[in-house]
């Protein structure tokens, strides 16, 4: 029975190794010589004039969540399109129901004004 779990354990160990070993090698082998130039802001070229931990408007999070929700339907459409010939009419109708529910949810959010930005 345990021989069936060996590939899974090996996969987990290799995945952890690929993620941890390069970071550990970089930490141990790279020179650590911080100076004011390395610690200065480099993205925009000047010091920050506000606190980076300011509050965001709730609508930003709402739009982000709605984007993720409606964008994830693509993850279901690609495999469905690949096997559409095998699953036939029932699979087609099931996906139409799924997309119909998403369209109703999208229309509801649109009519409620969740996508409006003032």
pLDDT at residue 43, rounded to an integer? 60
Domains and their CATH numbers in the chain: 2-112 (1.20.58)
Looking at the predicted structure, is the pLDDT value of residue 1 above 70?
A: no
Q: How confident is the model at residue 67 (pLDDT cuts 50, 70, 90)?
A: confident
pLDDT at residue 13, rounded to an integer? 95
pLDDT at residue 25, rounded to an integer? 94
The chain-wide mean pLDDT, for the chain, equals: 83
Question: What percent of the chain shows pLDDT beyond 70?
Answer: 88
Output phi, psi for 52, to 5 deg.
-70, -15
Q: What is the mean pLDDT of residues 5-33?
A: 92
Q: How far is CA 104 from the centre of its chain?
A: 24
What's this model's pTM, rounded to 2 decimal places? 0.48
Which residues have CB under 8 Å from 66's CB, separation 6+?
A: 109, 114, 115
Distance CA 3, CA 10 (A): 11
């Amino acid at each position: 029975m345990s021989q069936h779990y060996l590939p899974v354990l090996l996969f987990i160990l290799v995945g952890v190794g690929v993620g941890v070993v390069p970071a550990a090698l970089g930490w141990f082998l790279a020179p650590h010589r911080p100076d004011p130039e390395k610690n200065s802001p480099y993205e925009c070229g000047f010091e920050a004039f506000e606190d980076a931990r300011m509050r965001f408007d709730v609508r930003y999070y709402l739009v982000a969540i709605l984007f993720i929700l409606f964008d994830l339907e693509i993850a279901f459409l690609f495999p469905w399109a690949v096997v559409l010939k095998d699953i036939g009419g029932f699979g087609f109708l099931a996906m139409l129901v799924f997309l119909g529910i998403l369209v109703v949810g999208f229309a509801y959010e649109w009519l409620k004004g969740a996508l409006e930005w003032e």
